[in-house]
Chain A
């Protein structure tokens, strides 16, 4: 028994010893801890120091050590600022607050403000301490309590302590009164019902000499007026008092106590000006009373320093908000005009911001500063340029559009990429609204498209096209201009080529018959188109535009139809699915269905509806993307099914009216063909062809036209599998479309990559290309060589990279197609790659660095592999989406072995 006791005693002794060792006799000082932490070389080292100290601080907290509590809490506050958790100090702060020593209270309240906020339930405890300290006989203890209450008061605390604050608001001590006023402000923000009780005490704050009390009093009244219309009405009568205070401030001579660079108490002046603004808003009497003083402030304030301008700025806001005299308003705008010339960029920024706010009220006054504002478009500061641009658009009207647009176009040309999209959209809107004539309008849109380069949003492309489409008289001029552009075009700017090819395709005949003020040979046109179609700089979308346009030209040109046929059919073996599809479909129009070609490629009827702006424009843009450049998704599958109606592609570039156009075109087809199509239409919808009733979606029309029951097609349109054999036979069974479909399906590689019986997978187009009737003289040699299946190199984070390959001796050309599968705009796309040492890598410039949602870009990578080693590639990707940078890297090791064997 005794031995057990002995063992226990020993153990206890030992424990005590260890404990004593751990517990240093005196805690290290705050200063020393900060030094220790600062001398830590690594983050891990710092963490170790902090953790050790935190463990120690916790220990002392548990022991209720009150001697060093203050020091330990102070250290904890420092640790908290470094980002480490410190919530365990909350209770200690409350204990410090309850201590009689001022030093403890000072740190305790500081800790309370940092570690607690109004959501903490410890508030019940702090409310009691606050109540005691608010009644303390030492003004600084009261001050600490008021300061804390002002910073962290919750609704409950506000209710509990409103009485104390109200009492202190009437204190004879200015130091207490000013702080109580801010607390009252916080309380009425949290619990507006408590406003009434502060009213009597608040009124007397204005008859004060002390500026601290005055400024807090004015602030409190401002908040009351903002919160309650009754209070606003009540305080109307203090306008003369405020005017007097302000007058005294600006008239009184130099007072060192409140002087800031020659201005007397700017803080108070600004607060009074703000309150005057609220009191004078919509009240002519009050406005009348303050007119003079505002004019005085506006003219007498020294404007060479920031502080004076702060007051002038506030004065301008007040003048513009109240019912001031017109002369005063002009004075205010002129102050802003002067601001625009100020060397200080902050002041220029504020001026533009304020002008933007008042431009709708006083457009003519702002117009006077137009030239200065235009100058700001050239400012070095980007945010100033942005404001200036917005302001310029607000200032455009019918009278100044020519000069303004000229400046804005210069700005657009040199602007940062991030501005180009918005700026070009706004230019289009402004031109739409204020164009003096159509010729000018077309010129402007073309200049916008040209100046914004690749940053032109889709809606600008579509509104430009729409404008040209609907103004018959200017089509010849437009097409001439576009030809001039296209013939010297930099192929890297896609939107311009898209607009040009669309228009030349539609109105190419005008170009050739001399109406267009240019002389063009048919061969020149074909040459340019070949350049576009085979350029690595042009995006797939652009090539889609160009191909369809070229097809249209086959009905407009006379001599070169043969070359067009050759170019088009060469696309039957293009690596891109859509282009290949179109290539094959279009070449059918030259051979089997040649008699349909003319009618099908008729000019589109002019677009109807709202042009360009807002959602309409957006829709147009989306339609283009969906209709033309997509991988096997819902819509393109439907397009495939409808391939006998080749015009579907042409039409699908523009929604709504396009379905009508499709029907119209079909209606215009000669009787024999009409029968064919009609036969294909299911009985239920057989009227659609003859009566072009507007239909809700293109898809429905296409389905109808195909004669497919919605039932069997629906599943195939939602999945990515290609037409199943069952469906093939289904279509084969129906009489005439079978013919069309048959012809197409036999020659066309399926547009979908998933394998299904009967249809060759897409990635081996060569097998099919042999069946093409024409020889592809313009196809690069590599294309006609046996090609290798493509791979998906990357598909994450809303970015998909497809790679297709061309092998030529030891050089592998990798055509990378990047698709933005996210819903965000991708910018600054960067693809970097590295290959093993024995290989050489050459990266070409990408077709673009930004992608709209579901848009694509291409980049060509050439790898020289003389020793035929297995190809591996490390890649690093980065792009910006939603304002943040996405980065990823990885290794591609699943290249098809055919590349090096």
Chain B
């Protein structure tokens, strides 16, 4: 996704308030610019270690949502003209929203995106399309496996942040909890729509989840 923004455009975008917030006028590039919103999701910090940790978390979350997007795109490409397509489209739209949010956070906080994005692009689309070729149940099974992995990942991030300082990370925790709840909803939807009835469900689920774990591990670092 291409985002090339002139700083002043942030002022003129019709969806945003016309008055510049203090954040927009902030000239210290190291501090967090809150831009349009009145609050910041990532708390500003001067501690290098904490900043690195937060950036890593945002990087991998962004990669995850990007991958999920591509998975649903792959599924829609195959099952786009079937009965299940409105459901997949709905879930895809929610993922698009999540991705948009993470794009915002990355841009505001100058977080480096993961270098492997092109890889997740292809791998996600292939996984989505491949699972959809097994039919609607295959697609649902893939959804269940992936959403379970993502929820687990979000839960561990929530745990980490709660252990560190729940007060400080209130907005971030709220965001992650909201996204985790959405992903759990997708997982449950998948189960409702006969995910388990696909042949080789357990094997497929295990393989996909192992792949997700590896992807998360690598995206944190690269």
A and B bound? no
Chain A residues engaging chain B, CB cutoff 8 angstroms:
none
